[in-house]
Amino acid sequence: MTPSGSSARSFLSIGEVLAQLRPEFPDTTISKLRFLESEGLVEPERTPAGYRKYSSEDVDRLRYVLAAQRDQYLPLRVIREHLQGAGRGAPVPPRELVDSESLPAAGDFSRPEIDVRLSRSELLERTGISDAQLKQIENFGLITARGAGWYDADGVVVAETVARMAEFGLEPRHLRGYRTAADREVGLFEQVVAPVARQRGPEAKARAEEIVRELAALSLRLHTALVQARLRGSLGG
User: pLDDT over 70 for what percent of the chain?
Assistant: 80
Q: 73: phi > 0 → left, psi -120 to 50 → alpha, else beta; which? A: left
Rounded to whole angstroms, the Cα distance separating 140 from 185 reads 18
Domains defined for the chain, CATH in brackets: 9-103 (1.10.1660.10), 120-175 (1.10.1660.10), 177-234 (no CATH)
Rounded to whole angstroms, the Cα distance separating 102 from 47 reads 37
Per-residue pLDDT of 201-229, as tens digits, reads 767 877 887 788 778 878 877 887 777 77
Per-residue pLDDT of 155-208, as tens digits, reads 998 998 888 888 888 888 888 888 898 889 889 888 888 888 888 776 787 788
Rounded to whole angstroms, the Cα distance separating 189 from 192 reads 5
Q: Which of 6-15, 83-92, 94-103, 197-206 has the highest mean pLDDT?
A: 197-206
β partners of residue 118: 151
Rounded to whole angstroms, the Cα distance separating 66 from 5 reads 30
